[in-house]
Amino acid sequence: MTEGAEAHQVHPAPGRALHAYLLGRLEFDHLLALQRRLVYDVAGDRDAGAVILCDHPPGVTIGREGSRVHVRPRPEELTSRGWPVRWVSRGGGVLLHLPGQVACYPLIALDRLGLTPGEYLHELQAIVLDLLRAYDLPAEADPVRPGVRVKGRRIAHVGVAVRDWVSCFGIVLNVHPDLEPFYDVHCDGDPLPMTSVQRESPARVRVAGVRQKLVELVAARFRFDRVSVFHAHPGLVSRSPFPPGSAGGGLKHAVPTRTR
């Protein structure tokens, strides 16, 4: 978090653009590198913004309020499951990453919106609440640990970092992951296992629809006028295990597929 300074109320310039990167499965180390690049870009053009939407391979991250005691499996069992454990410089506690989640990481200059880091956390929680209401779920913000609950169980983690007043990290929402492993990891220190949108909703929930709705909610809440959607970023092409342009590889150029 940024400390020792106050956010100033500034009216954002008209025509603000949000670049939305829908990247699918993203190794966590690649996420960290991409966030650093985008934080640098947004710091240089503070009326622009970016948001990364992805999921991650199985693994555990531990934020500034987290503790290793919230991860029940011993190191050898974590290794056998293929769950690396990383300490990361975001707020919040322990989080288990699994396929079937949607991670939404906005990179926004908070000073351009007159937001303090604490106010920004409340805005992210409000985005999740708005999303879950669209699925008719009785969601409520957690007043103790930033995140969102449905029927008493956590369904979304919210944890951020702020560098030069530019946000990174953000929301991780359970859409339809396997819920059994959450009995072994006390996410954000909560002994109750997390739930998911699919578990709580009577209708089928699609990840693509959740991602699209999150892009719309981020753009609206943070007052972006235009959204360009990308399915790659040039900084990730060289990290792909596939040759550029191959069936499994990244795109040679991050060309927007939709702008509104």
Flag whether 4 is in a domain.
no
Q: What is the mean pLDDT of residues 171-185?
A: 97
The model's pLDDT over 118-170, given as tens digits with 9 standing for 90+, comes to 999 999 999 999 999 999 999 999 988 899 999 999 999 999 999 999 999 99
| 213, containing H or E segment | helix 207-221
The pTM score is 0.87
Could you list the beta-strand ranges (E) of the chain.
Answer: 17-25, 49-55, 59-62, 85-87, 94-97, 101-107, 139-141, 147-150, 153-163, 166-174, 226-230, 258-259
Flag whether 40 is in a domain. Answer: yes
Domain count across the chain: 1
CATH number at residue 192: 3.30.930.10
Cα separation of 11 and 27, whole Å?
36
54 belongs to the catalytic site: no
244-250: average pLDDT: 34
Q: What is the DSSP letter of 50?
A: E
Whether residue 51 is contained in a domain is answered as yes
The pLDDT of 9-31, averaged and rounded, is: 83
Q: Which of 54, 104, 168, 187 is catalytic?
A: 187
Give the mean pLDDT of 216-233.
96
Kindly state whether residue 96 falls inside one of the protein's structural domains. yes
**Domain containing residue 207:** 17-251
